[in-house]
Structure 1
Amino acid sequence: MEPQLLCCEGDRPARAYRDSNLLTDRVLGALLRAEENYLPASNYFKCVQREIAPYMRRIAATWVLEVCEEQRCEEEVFPLAMNYMDRFLSVEPVKKNHLQLLGAACMFLASKLKETIPLTAEKLCIYTDNSITTSQLLQMELLVLNKLKWDLASVTPLDFIDHFLSRLPVRRECRSILRKHAQTFVALCATDTNFIASPPSMVAAGSMVAAVEGLQLKMLGNTSMSQKLTEQLAQTIRSDPDCLRACQEQIESLLETSLGQARQQHTVTMETKNSGEGQDLSSTPTDVRDVNI
């Protein structure tokens, strides 16, 4: 039997372990100072874009998320891609039939920055049902880089999650599930236009509190810890506890709306299949092509 390199074994490339030495106050302070430099404009739909509406951005975001999930991208790729998209839309008008191309280019860049083996241009074109070409994707990539001034080291909510986890009175064995729930909330916020201009630290803190609430505070021991947690995280991100609480409630409301829409869509899909009429109405990665309808 021929010997093989350990790094070549397994379905996914090996990743470095999280370095606890980076979870310091100095690093957290640097993130808090830097996050404002990467915030998109909150009013770009009115002031910059003429054809792009909020619902179109939501469709594009859902498509990007579906591609990232199907390709098993690292969790940082999706929020980073959406940050690139929002920053680009803040400074450059885009035609509605170019929105999917922009989403693919932003995902392409984020994948290059965060993945050991990034997505290829050819694969992304296939996900658009070949409605774009590799040449168009590469041209859009250069345009995005130019408009973002090649500054791609954006701060996203995921950069704060481990910092917050290290400061919580949570058992080590519970941190994995808490991190997973918080990451889900972060991804959900990235699809919603109400969080476009929210500081990443606020979204991360709100997601963390919402995750703890969603797990019924079993990991923290008692309900009185919820208020203490909110106050602690608000102090950490230098914000008002009421603002953080409002962000948490907005995230929880978004989750309820999302789950309701998913159940409704599932019901319609099952009824359509049972009746034998029409086609599957479930969302597919190419639905974004119809964004101009």
Structure 2
Amino acid sequence: MVTPSPASPAARVGTRDSSRHLRAPVKKSRRPRLRRKEPLQPLLPRPLPGDSGVGDLSESPSSGSDGADSPGASAAWGCSPLPGPAQSWTPLDLQTFRDYGPSCYAFRRAQESRFHPRASLARQPQVTAESRCKLLSWLIPVHRQFGLSFESLCLAVNTLDRFLTTTPVAADCFQLLGVTSLLIACKQVEVHPPRVKQLLALCCGAFSRQQLCNLECIVLHKLHFSVSAPTISFFLEHFTHARVEAGHAEVSEALEAQSLARAVAELSLADYAFTSYTPSLLAICCLVLADRMLRLPRPVDLHLGEHPEEALQDCLGKLQLLVAINGTSLTHMLPLQISEKCSLSRA
């Protein structure tokens, strides 16, 4: 029997065929997936200068609390975000206001009583008005650093207060409730809401992703997924469009007054005393106070929102006191061209 020589073509073919069946399967190497890495910027503590109220409460915890023991407290005061500049205003769309403004305003006014939380801390054994003020004094610069809209902030505060009316919250979970409310609000309004890991980084790792997601589900369930509430931001924009459409103010004057009124409204969000007022009432009072501070020749009518005179004067008096106490903080929240024009003595 003749055996083919290894050098012959037949031998080479036979060897190749046999080795093909004996070779172990080789897993194809995959190209590494390229992930976009966006490292979080370090958040250094830099308190907002102020006389008292929001400015001072963002500097340090109260003397009665031990910030080292509570993870929520240590995270809130150890990683204070940098306060960014005030948001610039957007041009007015008067044609859209003529088409939809009155009907949208009537619809939102009818919904106010349904979404307005009353005595949100009445059922809270551990959360107090002081701790609420501290949380929101921390959350307001957070929303400003992310470049979020004022509407998102107002919705977050509304979600927070409405949930407090339904469920008791532990003190060490109160900060987690704050960032969860902000996330729910941003998902409604913002095109690019903050990521969960970014919000958790603000809490310095005190909470996990699963805890935030679980609390988000609990909040939405307790509120029956009704989270689109009428806000101060909406009514400020409506009253600004209404005064310009009626010819009672120039566009530049109305936008400056709206920006100043928005800053005053930010101060009021952290004060529990203003939760008793509806958003439309707060909006018109903030706008009237802004007109006085800017010394506009034709200030907005205080009765534009058709609120009772007693409630208007009571809210306006408390806002004047709030601005007088937090005058320095207010000037740092405003653009330079507006802070130079406004007079705190006329508040």
Same fold flag (TM > 0.5):
yes
Q: What does the per-residue CA deviation read over 1:192-240, in whole Å, with 9 as the maximum and x for residues that have no partner?
A: 101113111101111111111111224x2xxxx56xx123x2xxx2312
- Matched letter for residue 151 of structure 1: S
Is 1:145 the counterpart of 2:220? The answer is yes
- Matched letter for residue 283 of structure 2: A
- Matched letter for residue 38 of structure 1: F
Cα distance in 1 for partners of 2:141, 2:101 equals: 34
Cα distance in 2 for partners of 1:69, 1:162 equals: 19
Cα distance in 2 for partners of 1:95, 1:147 equals: 16
Deviates more, 1:17-26 or 1:33-42: 17-26
Is 1:30 the counterpart of 2:107? The answer is yes
> Which of 86, 93, 118 is the equivalent residue of 2:193?
118
Cα distance in 2 for partners of 1:125, 1:105 equals: 10
Matched with 2:306 is 238
Cα distance in 2 for partners of 1:50, 1:261 equals: 31
Cα distance in 2 for partners of 1:21, 1:261 equals: 36
- Matched letter for residue 104 of structure 2: V
Cα distance in 1 for partners of 2:193, 2:99 equals: 25
Cα distance in 1 for partners of 2:238, 2:91 equals: 17
Is 1:203 the counterpart of 2:275? The answer is no
- Matched letter for residue 179 of structure 1: Q
Listed as ranges, the gaps of 5+ residues in structure 2 are 1-89, 332-347
With the length of structure 2 as denominator, give the TM-score of the two structures: 0.64
Q: Is the 8 A contact 1:61 1:191 kept in 2?
A: yes
Paired residue secondary structure (1:187): helix
> Which of 117, 121, 136 is the equivalent residue of 1:45?
121
User: Pairwise mapping of residues 38-77 of structure 1 onto structure 2 (< 5 A)?
Assistant: 38-42=115-119, 44-46=120-122, 48-77=123-152
Listed as ranges, the gaps of 5+ residues in structure 1 are 1-14, 264-293
Matched with 1:275 is none
Is 1:249 the counterpart of 2:249? The answer is no
With the length of structure 1 as denominator, give the TM-score of the two structures: 0.75
Q: Is the 8 A contact 2:264 2:330 kept in 1?
A: no
User: Pairwise mapping of residues 4-19 of structure 1 onto structure 2 (< 5 A)?
Assistant: 18=93, 19=96
Paired residue secondary structure (2:229): coil
Query: Structure 1 75/261 Cα, relative in aligned 2: closer, same or farther at 3 Å?
Result: closer
Give the CA deviation at 1:17.
7.3
Aligned residues: 237
Q: What does the per-residue CA deviation read over 1:90-139, in whole Å, with 9 as the maximum and x for residues that have no partner?
A: 11000001000000100011111110100110000001111111111111
- Matched letter for residue 45 of structure 1: L
> Which of 176, 185, 191 is the equivalent residue of 2:270?
191
Matched with 1:11 is none
Q: After the TM superposition, list the runs of 4 or more consecutive aligned residues in structure 1 that deviate by more than 4 angstroms.
A: 15-18, 260-263
Pick the structure with greater CA Rg: 2
Paired residue secondary structure (1:159): helix
Query: Structure 1 33/137 Cα, relative in aligned 2: closer, same or farther at 3 Å?
Result: same
Larger helix proportion, structure 1 or 2? 1
- Matched letter for residue 278 of structure 2: P
Paired residue secondary structure (2:225): coil
Paired residue secondary structure (1:164): helix
Q: Is the 8 A contact 2:118 2:276 kept in 1?
A: yes
Q: Is the 8 A contact 1:23 1:162 kept in 2?
A: no
Paired residue secondary structure (2:226): coil
Cα distance in 1 for partners of 2:263, 2:193 equals: 22
The share of aligned pairs that are identical, in percent, is 22
Paired residue secondary structure (2:150): coil
